[in-house]
């Protein structure tokens, strides 16, 4: 298959234009959308969107309890799906929560979320990746600048930009406890990164990402395009949707307040994974789903 977004191949970084729509539904049908025109315009222009109060306080409290229990019950468990902080034994991420736990499976298939995702991606969808990111107080370390799509394309073989992340804040995200930082408008460009992909890169990259991060000049260029930087703060329950190629990062958490988020990555069923473009073998199913790609939701959008 043609590589529309080459990366980690050339010795020089390169910035190219995005070659896919941001909203994959014909915008003539916006009146049927679960989002307002202003929300859709914001997402299309900035590459992310925050929504408050989609879940009730009771639902948010239940999710908080569920991720706390998972953290407690796994504190001594050794599993590949459990990523520890680089310099401590605290849990940084738990992957594939929607595959392993019916409660999270139901959240991923919540029709309120699917209505939005189906509209933005213009098709049926499945979960490409799910995870809880715990960023514990004092010890939670940063996530370097990256476009998720760059990794999913090179390491997982995701062909096109037709996926998005849905992040549900499960603690209050303040400016000071390491919230998500985004470069508004960066989703319109693709930074082709330098550096080959090491074997089993994910074993390191999920703790500290070194390959697939933009060079400083490219990042500055993206920020200088006018959008500056945005910070996705919000009370627990706030949803942040961000496009697969939106450049983002977060700093370490030096405060006593944990920053916990649940992530579901939805991919279009028309954009299923092929062979990884970096040629370095497939990542495990708990990071990049290949088997369970049946469309989610009660009413399927048939094409
Ligand atoms: O490698 C990945 O797929 C993941 N890594 C990061 C740092 N963010 C997105 C994605 O979950
Ligand atoms: Fe990311």
CA trace torsion 223, 225, 231, 232 (10° rounding):
-130
pLDDT band, residue 32 (cuts 50/70/90) = confident
Higher pLDDT, 303 or 230: 230
Q: Are 169 and 261 in contact (CB under 8 A)?
A: yes
Phi and psi of 252, rounded to 5°?
Answer: -70, 165
**Up-side HSE of residue 138: CA atoms within 13 Å toward CB?**
4
Mean pLDDT (whole number) for 129-156:
97
For residue 280, the model assigns a pLDDT of 81
Mean pLDDT (whole number) for 179-191:
98
- Checking phi first, is residue 138 left (phi over 0); if not, alpha (psi -120 to 50) or beta? left
Ligand 1 pocket residue status of 209, Cβ below 6 Å: yes
For residue 301, the model assigns a pLDDT of 58
Pick the ligand that lies closest to the CA of residue 207: 1
Domain boundaries, the chain: 48-271
How far is CA 187 from each of CA 35, 65, 123, 170, 180, rounded to the nearest angstrom?
Answer: 20, 34, 20, 25, 15
Nearest atom within ligand 1 for CA of residue 144: 7
pLDDT band, residue 300 (cuts 50/70/90) = low
Ligand 1 pocket residue status of 148, Cβ below 6 Å: yes
For residue 302, the model assigns a pLDDT of 53
**Helix or strand holding residue 92 (H, E):** strand 91-95
Running DSSP on this structure, what letter comes out for residue 202?
H
DSSP H helices in 163-271: 202-205, 216-224
Ligand 1 pocket residue status of 156, Cβ below 6 Å: no
pLDDT in tens, 34-64: 999 999 999 999 999 999 999 999 999 999 9
pLDDT in tens, 212-222: 999 999 999 99
Give me 290's structure tokens: 């290949």
pLDDT band, residue 154 (cuts 50/70/90) = very high
Of 118, 117, 122, 114, the C-alpha closest to 28 is: 122
All residues with CB under 5 Å from ion ligand 2 = 148
| DSSP reduced 3-state for 297 | coil
> For residue 290, is pLDDT > 90?
yes
Ligand 1 pocket residue status of 150, Cβ below 6 Å: no
Ligand 1 pocket residue status of 151, Cβ below 6 Å: yes
Residues 6+ apart with CB under 8 A from 38: none
How far is CA 61 from each of CA 39, 97, 297, rounded to the nearest angstrom?
Answer: 26, 18, 24
Q: Give dist(CA 253, CA 88) in Å, integer.
A: 13
For residue 8, the model assigns a pLDDT of 94
Q: Are 120 and 241 in contact (CB under 8 A)?
A: yes
Question: The sheet that has 239-243: what strands, in order across it?
Answer: 48-51, 239-243, 163-169, 259-268, 125-135, 91-95, 82-84
User: What spacing in Å lies between the alpha carbon of 147 and ligand 2's midpoint?
Assistant: 6
Name beta bridge partners: 241.
49, 166
pLDDT in tens, 82-131: 999 998 999 999 999 999 999 999 999 999 999 999 999 999 999 999 99
pLDDT in tens, 189-206: 999 999 999 999 999 999
pLDDT band, residue 167 (cuts 50/70/90) = very high
pLDDT in tens, 224-243: 998 899 999 999 999 999 99
CATH 3.40.1170.10 fits 48-271, yes or no: no
Ligand 1 pocket residue status of 93, Cβ below 6 Å: no
User: What spacing in Å lies between the alpha carbon of 143 and ligand 2's midpoint?
Assistant: 8
pLDDT band, residue 299 (cuts 50/70/90) = low
Give me 155's structure tokens: 């390491």
pLDDT in tens, 245-285: 999 999 999 999 999 999 999 999 999 999 999 988 999 99
Among 7, 142, 151, the mutation site with the greatest number of ligand 1 atoms within 8 A of its Cβ is 151
Ligand 1 pocket residue status of 257, Cβ below 6 Å: no
């Amino acid at each position: 298959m043609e590589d529309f977004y080459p990366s980690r191949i050339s010795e020089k970084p390169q910035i190219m234009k995005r070659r896919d729509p941001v909203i994959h539904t014909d915008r003539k049908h916006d009146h049927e959308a679960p989002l307002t025109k202003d929300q859709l315009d914001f997402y299309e222009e900035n590459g992310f969107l925050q929504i408050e109060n989609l879940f009730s306080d009771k639902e948010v409290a239940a999710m908080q309890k569920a991720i706390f229990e998972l953290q407690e019950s796994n504190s001594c468990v050794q599993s590949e799906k459990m990523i520890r902080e680089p310099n401590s034994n605290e849990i940084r991420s738990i992957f594939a929560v929607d595959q392993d736990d019916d409660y999270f499976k139901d959240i991923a298939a919540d029709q309120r979320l699917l209505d939005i995702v189906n509209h933005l991606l213009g098709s049926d969808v499945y979960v490409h990746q799910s995870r809880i990111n715990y960023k514990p107080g004092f010890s939670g370390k940063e996530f370097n600048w990256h476009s998720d799509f760059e990794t999913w394309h090179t390491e997982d073989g995701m062909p096109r930009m037709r996926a998005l992340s849905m992040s549900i804040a499960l603690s209050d995200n303040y400016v000071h406890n390491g919230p998500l930082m985004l470069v508004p408008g960066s989703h319109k460009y693709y930074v082709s990164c330098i550096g080959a992909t090491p074997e089993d890169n994910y074993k390191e990259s999920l703790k500290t990402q070194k390959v697939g991060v933009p060079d400083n000049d490219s990042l500055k260029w993206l920020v200088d395009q006018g959008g500056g930087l945005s910070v996705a703060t919000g009370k627990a329950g706030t949803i942040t949707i961000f496009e697969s190629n939106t450049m983002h990062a977060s700093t370490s958490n030096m405060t006593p307040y944990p920053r916990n988020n649940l992530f579901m990555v939805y991919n279009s069923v028309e954009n299923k994974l092929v062979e990884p473009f970096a040629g370095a073998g497939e990542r495990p199913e708990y990071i990049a789903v290949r088997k369970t790609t049946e469309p989610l939701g009660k009413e399927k959008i048939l094409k």
